[in-house]
């Protein structure tokens, strides 16, 4: 299983996509959701920054406090297949 991350800017609280950066990580078996969020934040360079996290099941929305940024995290089963 893979983790797909999309980082983009926001305008008026909504994702803007005037630029986007994409990352792929490999999911570690047995990894807790908290450990996953720590690893995602480390990848984005947000370690130590307070963020709000909204988990919608297949999509996780991470927004750092006092920044116009948003990261969308989705899980992929195999290459190119999102379930």
For residue 82, being part of any structural domain is answered with no
Instruction: Print the domain residue range for 42.
Output: 2-76
Cα–Cα distance for residue pair 2/39, rounded to 1 Å: 13
Q: In the numeric block, which tokens belong to residue 48? A: 């130590």
For residue 23, being part of any structural domain is answered with yes
Q: State how beta strands 14-26 and 51-55 pair.
A: unpaired
Interval 14-27: pLDDT, tens: 999 999 999 999 98
Under 8 Å between Cβ of 77 and 4: no
Q: Is residue 57's pLDDT more than 90?
A: no
For residue 81, being part of any structural domain is answered with no
Domain count, the chain: 1
pTM, two decimals, is: 0.86
Q: In the numeric block, which tokens belong to residue 55? A: 């988990």
Under 8 Å between Cβ of 37 and 62: yes
For residue 36, being part of any structural domain is answered with yes
Interval 26-38: pLDDT, tens: 988 888 888 999 9
């Amino acid at each position: 299983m893979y983790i797909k991350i999309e980082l983009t800017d926001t305008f008026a609280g909504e994702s803007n996509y005037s630029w986007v950066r994409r990352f792929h990580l490999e999911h570690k078996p047995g990894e807790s959701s908290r450990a996953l969020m720590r690893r995602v934040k480390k990848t984005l360079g947000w370690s130590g920054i307070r963020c709000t996290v909204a988990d919608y099941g297949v999509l996780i929305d991470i927004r750092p406090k006092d920044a116009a940024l948003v990261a969308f995290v989705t899980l992929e089963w195999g290459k190119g297949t999102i379930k």
